[in-house]
Chains A and B, each alone.
Chain A
Amino acid sequence: MAKKSSMGRQKIAIAKIPKKNHLQVTFSKRRSGLFKKASELCTLCGVEVAIIVFSPAGKPFSFGHHEVDTVIDRFLTRRPKPAESVPACQILEAHRNNNIRELNFVLAHLLNQVEFERKNGEELERFRIANEKGVWWELPIERLGTGELEQLKLAMEELRRNVVEQSSMLAGDHRSGMELFGTVDHVHGSIQFQDCEDVLETKPLDHVNGGISSSSAPAFSNYLNFRRDDGIF
């Protein structure tokens, strides 16, 4: 199902929001955006920041660079910024800033991949809709009549048998190849395929290299010419 796009940018009056739900949602979103902006300001311009907000329920949320309490103390004690003179502090700060830069780098890379996958999804959706116009069995199930449903089901079952057969062949022994991935119900003689997600989860996500390591990458993707790499780095 295609994701419904949001309403987009709406002009809003700066006054207390009357509806409680709306207010809560706005708080969450804007708080998140606020911290994001603060984070960007700190990284880009090398400034120290502290932001404190209380939720509509009265819970405190805070963001600080480098630390909330440090900046608050600086304000409350009216102390001018020290530490320039102490080499140890400089090294520490440089180290932290480096850390932050790395995190930003990883985040940017991830967000690129998210964007790539999103576009991928949209293209797949367009592709699917285009194909619906071709043959009846690619229509959504709800649009098919009983006869067609029966036919389709039989075709599916046949295909499933072929898939099991092919897997056994690839697995190279007389046991069902699906035992590698799924579970075999010996009583009923059926095979339960493992959820796609579980298979993909077998390899740990490699954050720096962006997701699943290539050795477990599926072979067929070349069919549709959807590239698995995002070509960013």
Chain B
Amino acid sequence: MSVAFVDREFLDIMTRKKIVLEPIANESTRKATYKKRKKGLLKKVSELSTLCGINACALIYSPYDPQPEIWPPSHGAVRRVLTKFREMPAMERSKKMLNHEGFLTQRIAKANEQLRKLRKDNREKEMIHVMYQCLTAKDLLLNLNLVDLNDLGWVIDNTVKEIDRRVETLTTNVEPRQMLVARFEGAPVDDHFPMNRQPWYMNHAMPAQPGQDAGPILPDVNADNDGNMVQNFYR
């Protein structure tokens, strides 16, 4: 067989390790691998057939034997499955028929899709972090390029949407004051609000925009009797 073999490190092939998908150069390793994997493959076909109650067959031609390795173990049984296969209309057969190249191309497409999605999700996570960082350090914006800024803007908009949704839920269901109490009873305050933690807006010196208020103004409902706002959240 005219296949170009590449030298592969002779390692203990019997251990579970990430395998390099290249033709095995070493003759005896190749034969040993073949024996082991062939056995495993036929076992898997058998299991699939039994577990799902379906017809199946496998043919393996190796340079080590003119006779093919088969499953089911009888020629007759294999022929029956093949006949059933060939009896199907050509369209049906070829719809899910894969040669090696086709199979790999399909897997590549799936992996690409996976990668794209993961990258998108990770990018979103990163930008959310940047967004939170920017709340306390406005200068960070200067390090971002246009791509970053666009993504940041998108993430901000998303967060605002979430906030709006949440506010909607809170105000249409329960009295805000009751909600406040409910939250305290549920929240593990000590873990999240250590006593030395200052509310962020105290450190935050964002210059007021012309025509805008200098800081957040809260409705009375969340203030205590003295009109103190967020300080009450901290113990």
Contact = CB atoms under 8 A, between A and B. Distances in A.
Interface size grouping (class) on chain A: 35 or more
B126 A137 contact: no
A169 to B, nearest CB: 9
Nearest to B58: A51
Nearest to A27: B52
Given A147-B218, A155-B216, A30 B44 contact: yes
Interface string B143-185: 1111111111111110110111011001100001001100100
Interface of A: 12, 14-17, 23, 26-27, 30-31, 33-56, 59-68, 71-72, 74-76, 80-81, 84, 90, 93-94, 96-101, 103-108, 110-111, 113-114, 117-118, 120-121, 124-125, 127-128, 131-139, 141-164, 166-167, 170-171, 177-178, 180-182, 191, 193-197, 199-200, 205, 207, 211-212, 216, 218-221, 223-224, 226
29 contacts: A14-B47, A31-B48, A33-B44, A34-B41, A41-B34, A43-B23, A44-B34, A45-B24, A47-B38, A50-B59, A54-B84, A56-B54, A65-B99, A68-B98, A100-B104, A101-B23, A106-B108, A108-B20, A128-B128, A128-B129, A150-B167, A151-B218, A194-B150, A196-B127, A197-B120, A199-B151, A207-B108, A211-B119, A219-B144
Interface of B: 1-4, 19-24, 30-31, 33-34, 37-38, 40-41, 44-45, 47-63, 66, 68, 70, 78-79, 81-82, 84-86, 88, 92-93, 95-101, 103-105, 107-108, 111-112, 114-116, 118-135, 138, 141-157, 159-160, 162-164, 166-167, 170-171, 176, 179-180, 183, 187, 191-193, 197, 200-201, 204, 206, 209, 216, 218-219, 221-222, 229-230, 233
